[in-house]
């Protein structure tokens, strides 16, 4: 009898845990993607004198020769955020770089990389954004000083789940949506990525930290990370510490 009781307790406990895990999973996955892998806050959370925040409420300016843009307010505020947007509209902004009104978003928003985000992960990201604290923060529209193409990426209808049991395929997927190559690839005079030198670094970033130059993260043994151990690479990505102990500066998107 005692045994039976214990057994059914375990079963009930497991049932609750399973239901809880199911409910948590989408949101936890969304939090993980937004706050670490995809680093939305790197652009969408402003940093004031009191530190970063409010979370994902936008406003950070980007001044480039060909446009001026401000990271959007991603909180569910109905007037100044995305509270009134449909899932489809939010998904189109993330994966295709198109605003709610159909205009193209400034190419700082890395849709070129986010286009690979799976449908399931997109739903997780949206569910995370929807439960943020709404913040009223009006963000100015972008000003373009260049002709815009018709579109940045071809329309996306569906993106299948990556195969998580294949570490190389899943790593490639995470690398795409983490947009590592956006920063770690040199650009030509027009600002296009030099795909022949993918991962070779040398892109300069100017900010309150001074000038940081993205590193060569190809497996070249001398100038890249070919000689690094897995633990050293992991530390650079998750803690922002280089092989020799040097603290990496922004905008290297290590987890925070
Ligand atoms: C490298 C900087 C950068 C990163 C990283 C980034 N964004 Fe953006 N995003 C922008 C900028 C800048 C805009 C505004 C572009 C414009 O209005 O032309 C924008 C616009 C948007 C919009 C359109 C909102 C509106 O009101 O028009 C959405 C939705 C969005 N981003 C979601 C995300 C999400 C979700 C992530 C992470 C998965 C993310 N962004 C990561 C820079 C970034
Ligand atoms: C928004 C731009 C940006 C993104 C996105 C980004 N990085 Fe970086 N990364 C940098 C910059 C800039 C540096 C150099 C910082 C410094 O020298 O202070 C750097 C440094 C590094 C280093 C240290 C290399 C060395 O020689 O010290 C590694 C490793 C690295 N990044 C890997 C990655 C990986 C992997 C990703 C994607 C998961 C990634 N980075 C995403 C900008 C970025």
Q: What is the pLDDT of residue 207?
A: 83
Q: Is the distance from the beta carbon of residue 109 to the nearest atom of ligand 1 less than 6 Å?
A: yes
| For residue 9, pLDDT beyond 90 | no
Q: Is the distance from the beta carbon of residue 252 to the nearest atom of ligand 2 less than 6 Å?
A: yes
| Residue 179 CB neighbours (<10 A) | 20
Q: Is the distance from the beta carbon of residue 200 to the nearest atom of ligand 1 less than 6 Å?
A: no
Give CA–CA dist 34/26, Å, rounded: 12
Report the nearest-CA residue for atom 43 of ligand 1.
109
- Of 51, 55, 85, the C-alpha closest to 71 is 55
| For residue 55, pLDDT beyond 90 | yes
pLDDT, tens only, 221-230: 999 999 999 9
Query: What separation in Å is there between the alpha carbon of 254 and the centre of ligand 1?
Result: 18
pLDDT, tens only, 18-50: 444 444 599 999 999 999 999 999 999 998 888
For residues 84-94, give the mean pLDDT.
Answer: 98
Residue 255 banded pLDDT, cuts 50, 70, 90: low
pLDDT, tens only, 157-198: 999 999 999 999 999 999 999 999 999 999 888 778 999 999
Q: Is the distance from the beta carbon of residue 68 to the nearest atom of ligand 2 less than 6 Å?
A: no
Q: Are 187 and 213 in contact (CB under 8 A)?
A: no
- Of 97, 47, 93, the C-alpha closest to 74 is 93
Mutate to test the pocket of ligand 2, among 178, 252, 254 (most ligand atoms within 8 A of CB): 252
Query: Sign of the C-alpha dihedral, residues 178, 66, 198, 94?
Result: positive
């Amino acid at each position: 009898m005692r045994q039976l009781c214990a057994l059914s307790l375990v079963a009930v406990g497991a049932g609750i845990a399973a239901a809880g895990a199911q409910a948590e999973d989408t949101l936890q996955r969304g939090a993980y993607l937004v706050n670490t892998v995809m680093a939305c806050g790197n652009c969408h959370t402003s940093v004031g004198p009191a530190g970063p925040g409010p979370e994902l409420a936008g406003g950070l300016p980007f001044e480039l020769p060909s446009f001026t843009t401000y990271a959007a307010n991603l909180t569910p505020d109905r007037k100044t955020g995305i509270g009134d947007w449909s899932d489809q509209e939010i998904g189109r902004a993330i994966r295709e770089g198109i605003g709610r009104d159909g205009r193209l978003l400034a190419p700082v928003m890395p849709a070129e990389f986010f286009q690979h985000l799976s449908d399931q992960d997109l739903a997780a990201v949206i569910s995370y954004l929807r439960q943020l604290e709404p913040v009223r923060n009006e963000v100015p529209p972008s000003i373009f000083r260049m002709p815009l193409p018709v579109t940045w990426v071809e329309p996306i209808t569906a993106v299948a789940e990556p195969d998580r049991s294949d570490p190389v395929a899943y790593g490639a997927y995470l690398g795409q949506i983490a947009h590592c190559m956006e920063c770690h690839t040199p650009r030509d005079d027009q600002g296009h990525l030099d795909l022949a030198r993918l991962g070779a670094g040398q892109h300069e970033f100017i900010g309150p930290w001074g000038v940081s130059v993205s590193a060569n993260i190809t497996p070249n043994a001398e100038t890249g990370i070919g000689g690094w151990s897995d633990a050293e690479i992991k530390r650079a990505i998750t803690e922002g510490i280089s092989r020799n102990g040097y603290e990496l500066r922004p905008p290297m998107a290590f987890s925070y």
